[in-house]
Amino acid sequence: MHAPVITGMLRGLKGTTLHHFCCAHFHCPTVRVTFDELLIDYSKDLPKVAEMLKVHPVAPEDHFRMLPGFKNFQSIKAGDLLAEDRNGNIISPYDSHILMPLYQQQGEDGFFLIKVIE
């Protein structure tokens, strides 16, 4: 599909379309790719394959606040300060890349940490 593949996402995400396909025993769902050129352009500098290392779940009572400036696939180091919540600082436990940092008010995942494989 000309987009990064993130392995292990089913371990951290519940109720996704991926779960539906797996649980419904779809073997190879057909996906119509209409915008190949757009996907190729957007993903040209992104990793081809990565593995999910960590999901940071959040709840409204956590008062989660992502520190500003993080972008998808940005490289981070173990020990980097990523966010804050009612318990204090949230530090990266890994040299990794960050994915989907939560800057909006809604969401149950503060961020994902991934390891680039390819």
Beta-carbon contacts of 27 under 8 Å, excluding residues fewer than 6 positions away, are: none
For each of the chain's 118 residues, which pLDDT tens digit applies? 677 888 887 776 665 555 555 565 555 565 556 677 888 888 888 999 999 999 999 999 999 999 999 999 999 999 999 999 999 999 999 999 999 999 998 999 999 999 999 8
Q: Which two tokens stand for residue 81?
A: 């300060």
**In the prediction, which pLDDT does 18 show?**
56
Burial class (CB in 10 A: 0-12, 13-18, 19+), 72: middle
Nearest to 73, CA basis, from 106, 113, 19: 113
Instruction: Report domain 5-116's class.
Output: mainly beta
Nearest to 106, CA basis, from 58, 74, 71: 58
Q: Can you give the pTM of this predicted structure?
A: 0.76
Annotated domain spans of the chain: 5-116
Please tell me the distance from the alpha carbon of residue 32 to that of residue 66, in angstroms, as a whole number. Answer: 35
5: β partners: 49
